[in-house]
Chain A
Amino acid sequence: MNWLLDLTPDEWNAVRLSIKVATVAMLFSLPPGIAIALLLARGRFWGKTLLNGLVHLPLILPPVVTGYLLLITFGRRGPAGAFLAEHFGIVFSFRWTGAALACGVMGFPLMVRAIRLSIEAVDRKMEAAAGTLGANPAWVFATITLPLILPGLIAGAILSFAKAMGEFGATITFVSNIPNETQTLPSAIYTFTQVPGGDEGALRLTLISIVISMAALVASEVLARRIGRRMDIE
């Protein structure tokens, strides 16, 4: 069993990096995810179908295409990349931040879908009742809507996290496969499979990958059940 836990420093780095990238991708996706889900669930505006299509694009495009699009937009010489680097000092290309961006974008449709569904299930009469009690729209959102969609939020966040843990195509296209910087678990596993004698390392990382994903799933289930019990919606 020892070979299982005896990870090389590079492997540990890949595990740590993967968790960091997935967490950052999930957290930074949440605010825009909620905003877009709200727009899609409740907004009535011209171009809603277009927005919906755009959000879902990463789901239907080959990941390599998404990665390449990110490269030409957020790369050093891409319009968005150059702007962000110049004004905010944020650099994506060949950095772990770029991996997080790629993972966030790939998980975004899944997150938005889950949140949107939960928003559509919210009884808007509850919000009207809160309004008559003196709560302005922002307070209504914070005290009624947000708590009621919490299970959907958690589901969306976990989906995004899980997707980020497994993201490979867009990440490797956008930020390559640099150990300690952009080499996440899937990239590391891929690298192992490309060298002779790498089977053992690939299997180790595969098992770790399974454990992390399962843990995230179980945690979300427990959390959702606890919230569900607390709310007891009839």
Chain B
Amino acid sequence: MSLLVDIAHRQGSFGIEARFESAGRLTALFGPSGSGKTTLINMIAGLVRPRTGRIVVDGRVLVDSEAGIFVPRHKRRIGMVFQDARLFPHMSVASNLRYGRWFTPAAERYADMKAVVELLGIGQLLDRRPAKLSGGEKQRVAIGRALLASPKLLLMDEPLASLDEARKAEIMPYIERLRDETKIPIVYVSHSIAEVARLASDVVMLAQGKVAAFGPTTEIMRRLDLLPAEERGEGGAVLDMKVLRHDENFGMSVLGSAAGEIRVPRLAIAPGAPVRIRIRARDVMVATERPTGLSALNILPGEIVAIGRGEGPTAEISIDCSGSVVLARITEQSRQALKLDVGGKVFAVVKTVSFDQANTGTGLPVQADI
């Protein structure tokens, strides 16, 4: 799958000028509200017509202002999951799910009702009316409805934003399964680091209608300076690791990568399976020698590769642990006291209990070829 977006648009006083190309499995459009991500995804869906530019999905030109091409939304075969679900109130859940099927040519139907219903765990909801569903259930049905139209690309516009934390945690694994078990590429709009770090293979970082950065999630998430102010505290390194084994005595899972071993609270993921963790920069301590007599279980040796000024009294230290970069946010006072500088050998220290549901999730299958 390939997605090319190269557009310029103006809406009142708000301008967007964006260009990016992605072949990722789940590409996140990430940025603060007002950065233009929803407008961008609406353009891909055909709900907004850009002033000028091109949008190409898998070699099929959907928009080309110079050639006068604008494929209407119903001919794009691009599924969309809206923040507000938008289930049809006059139809049952089953009818909602079947809606897109009618309009899909028989030869192009690949989505199977039973499989989708099972994937999303909505079997017991089929006879209900949308008004009788909880927010999380609605969103799962909305995902199923989009999937059953057998789209070539699935767009998700802040699908979790209107849900509480418990509902988010309920839906996140389904989106992970969607990403890993189906072949449909996904474009995912979000302003939440937790979601993007956990779900995305690639990130398009947007700020004020422009692409501020674009690349693999693990690289982009390191750029703490690009994060929206209200999310900066959540910022940190994203590491793709593997479950090595479970420590049943203490209820922990041991994860491994080139960086070393990291212990996290017990995960429901089988040994050998990929896992992705986000280590918040504020959860990381830095030591100049291997600490002893310390309760923290995760001590990763590494070398300082960069130091940035953070907000207020803080400094942001990038520590390369055998190829994986871990970020630490410490005070400028500590940095000077420890004489931390680029090239210095240090240890990054992370408490096991700083990992929770919000920053651990199923990892993307490594080197997936699609």
Contacts and interface: CB of A to CB of B under 8 A. Distances in A.
Do A and B originate from a single complex? yes
Interface in B36-92: 45-47, 72-80, 82, 84, 86, 88-90
Contact of B74 (A135, A147, A232): A135
Interface stretch (A78-86, A125-133, A197-205): A125-133
Nearest to B105: A134
Contact of B89 (A128, A132, A133, A233): A233
A129 B80 CA distance: 7
B104 A134 contact: yes
Nearest to A143: B99
What are the 7 A-B residue pairs with the smallest beta carbon separation, nearest first?
A: A134-B103, A133-B100, A232-B131, A129-B86, A132-B80, A131-B73, A147-B90
A155 interface: no
Contact of A232 (B77, B82, B89, B146): B89
Contacts of A144: 88
Looking at chain A's contact residues, is the secondary structure mostly helix, strand, loop, or mixed?
helix
**Which interface residue of B73, B86, B130, B132 has the most chain A CB atoms within 10 A?**
B73
A126 B145 CA distance: 13
A138 to B, nearest CB: 10
B99 A130 contact: yes
B131 A132 contact: no
A126 to B, nearest CB: 6
B149 interface: yes
B210 interface: no
Interface string A8-42: 00000000000000000000000000000000000
Contacts of B145: 133
A131 B90 contact: no
Nearest to B131: A232
A79 B287 CA distance: 97
B129 interface: yes
Contacts of B89: 126, 148, 231-234
Interface residues of A, number: 24
Contact of B86 (A125, A135, A136, A232): A125
Given A139-B103, A233-B131, A131 B74 contact: yes
Contacts of A123: 86
Nearest to B148: A133
A232 B132 contact: yes
A234 to B, nearest CB: 5
25 contacts: A125-B82, A125-B84, A125-B86, A128-B47, A129-B80, A129-B82, A129-B88, A130-B99, A131-B72, A132-B74, A132-B76, A132-B79, A132-B146, A133-B79, A133-B103, A134-B75, A134-B104, A135-B99, A136-B74, A139-B103, A230-B90, A231-B129, A231-B131, A232-B130, A232-B132
B116 to A, nearest CB: 14
Given A133-B100, A135-B103, A232-B131, A128 B73 contact: yes
A144 to B, nearest CB: 6
Contacts of B76: 132
Contacts of B78: 132
Contact of A134 (B74, B82, B88): B74
Given A125-B84, A132-B76, 11 more contacts: A126-B89, A129-B88, A131-B47, A132-B45, A132-B47, A133-B145, A134-B104, A134-B149, A135-B103, A148-B89, A232-B130
**Which interface residue of A132, A136, A143, A233 has the most chain B CB atoms within 10 A?**
A132
B131 to A, nearest CB: 4
Contacts of A136: 72, 74, 103
A106 B105 CA distance: 47
A146 B339 CA distance: 72
Contacts of B146: 132-133
Nearest to A129: B86
Contacts of A131: 46-47, 72-74
Interface in A46-66: none
A233 B131 CA distance: 7
Contacts of B46: 131-132
